[in-house]
Each structure stands twice: as structure tokens, then as C-alpha cells.
Amino acid sequence: MKLAGKLAAAACLATALSLTVVGGATAKNFKMAVGDAHGSAQHELGTKFVELFEAKTGGKHTAKMFLNGQLGSEQDTVNDAAIGTLDFSLLAINNITPFSPSVGVFTLPYVILSLEDAEKLTQGDIGKELVANTIRDAGVRIVGWTYTGFRVLTNSKKPIKTLEDLQGVIVRVPKNEIMIASYKAWGINPTPMAWSETFTALQQKVVDGQDNPYLTVHSMKFYEVQKYVTALRYIFSIEPLIVSESVFQDMDEATQKAVIDAGLEATLHSAAHLRKSEAAIKEDLLAKGMQIDEPADGEKAWIEAATKAVWPEFFDSIGGVEKLNTVLKSLGRDPVQ
């Protein structure tokens, strides 16, 4: 059987297995892959989405989350959703960027400087354009946005406040070209690695450090294998909820509306959750023995190195320098010349 035939057969089988008949109406138990653990920002948004979705469909449809990458790596789940063998996935935006490069504008270093910036971009016209692009490019539709906070750098080796301190530290990064380029601009070659392998690699000292928001550091218990935190603000972590476009198009109009409305409400909930919880989580990380340091000189050297080297390298992939300038203008900042 050819690959296309196998994929079609797999999609049909997955659909058949997940359908039941309730009171004469076709109901479905949707599957949602979640990269992070219980208690994470992804888990918080996913839980809220499921609650809202089930309520908005009057209990006709349900959804079940599979945490900690049980259904595969985050990038694998994009492939699975694209071919219709997975319904939903919650994942870091950098793991969609390889499939839909224009989304990478949100992962350019130091573009998003606050939660308010993230809300404005994702919930406005730029966010709508990127949703359309992911449908076109990757066969998946973004229906919700998780706001997880800035990706701070953690490591087990030493306090890091300057670029000089960073030298000699082996840092795990996702398999994302923009993030890899950022670390290269800071003078080191990072180690690309799947999310599912990261905790073990830190534990076994295969790598010294990684970067993720405080909420993720806490939920993944990185404090067990990491000591030092550098409060970088180079990327604000946005983690979209995607639905397979083929699955979405197979839904009736009422179910599609329930997905969209539940996604929007869950997005608003995620922002409120971050505002409420991040400070307490930082305090708990300190209580668990982590040391948090601010980068020296207001992060000036980090910002200058990354923006000068990385932004021009990825103008073409994000849709041109004009696209970046549109984003900057919407945030009230000066354009790139």
C-alpha cells in the first residue's frame, strides 16, 4: 500500500475508533496531546478549553488530554494533526515554526517584551494572519494561545550574568533555527534536543542548562537538576493550541463554533493565570534552592548581539522585514531600517 493510502486508512481508523453514538447523534471523544506536565501553563489552558468545549457542546463531545508528550514529540504531533490522526495538540510555538515559518516572528529575540505585547499580537490582526498561514502551510489551525512567560535560562554549573559567563556552558534548545541562532550570536553552539529528552539529559549532565519560563521550570521539576537561573527576557513563550484542519472541517458548524469560542475564552484565562501565578512560582523555586540572577547591565549586551545578528537572518522566512516592522509598529516601537 502506498504511503498516501496508509495515511488515509489510518485517519479513517482513528476516526472510527473515536466515534460513538449517543441518543442518535454522533459524538466524539477528541484526543489532545500536551507537551508539558500537570500543573504547567499548557495543562492549565488545556483543562480550561476541555471544560468550556464540553459545556458549549452540551456534553455531546468530550476531550481527553495526554500529558508529558505521551503522544509523541511536539513536532511529531504537528505532523499527526496535519494528516488527521490526532485532533488537538498544545505545544511551544517554536515547534510549529519549522512547518509555518512566518510564525517565527513571535520567536525572534526581544520582539515581545511583555505579556501585554503577547496579547496584542496574538489576539489582533497579526495573530489572525498567522492562523491563516498555519492552515495553509501546516494543515493545522491555531484556536488558542497559552501565555507562559519569558524563557529564563537555567543551568547546573554556575551563575550566569554576562555573555562571558555563558561561555563553556552546554545549553539545550529546541530544534528551532531562530533559537539556535540566538545562542550562536551569544558565542556558543547550543545542543538541539527534543523536549521529551531534556530532563534526562539535564539529570545525566549531557547538557548543563536549558531555557523555559518559570511556570515550565516549576511544573517539570527542573529545580531537581538545575541550580542557577538567569532572568533573560529574549523570548516570551507562547504555546498555541492547534486542531487538525481536516478534523475541524469535518465538524458541523455548531461544533466548530464551540472550538473557536472555547479557544478564545481559554486564551483569556491563560493570561489571567500567568498574572496570578508567576510571582508565587518564582518564590517557590527560590525556596526549593534555586538562585535567580538578573543579567548584567540590563541585558544590553544580550539584546544587541541577538537583534543585530538574528533579526536580519530571518527576515525572509517570516515574510520580509516589512512583516517585522508591522509587528514593531503595532507595539509602538521604531521600525528596522
CA distance linking residue 240 with residue 49, whole number of Å? 12
Letter for the amino acid at 132? A
**pLDDT value, residue 211:** 98
Query: How long a stretch of residues is the chain?
Result: 337
Q: Residue 52: which of 270, 200, 212, 233 has the closest Cα?
A: 270
How would residue 16 be classed by pLDDT, with cut points 50, 70 and 90?
very low
Distance set, CA 85 to CA 60, 81, 118, 170, 244 (Å) = 21, 6, 30, 36, 8
DSSP string covering 199-251, please?
Answer: HHHHHTTSSSEEEE-HHHHHHTTGGGT--EEE---S-EEEEEEEEEHHHHHHS
Letter for the amino acid at 106? F
Q: Residue 315 pLDDT > 90, yes or no?
A: yes
CA distance linking residue 118 with residue 201, whole number of Å? 31
Residues 84-128: tens digit of each pLDDT? 999 999 999 989 999 999 999 999 999 999 999 999 999 999 999
Q: Residue 11 pLDDT > 70, yes or no?
A: no
Task: Please report the domains of the chain, with CATH numbers, ordered by start residue.
Answer: 3-148+238-276 (3.40.190.170), 152-235+282-330 (3.40.190.170)
Q: E strands, 35-75, where?
A: 62-66
State pTM to two decimals: 0.89
**pLDDT value, residue 21:** 41
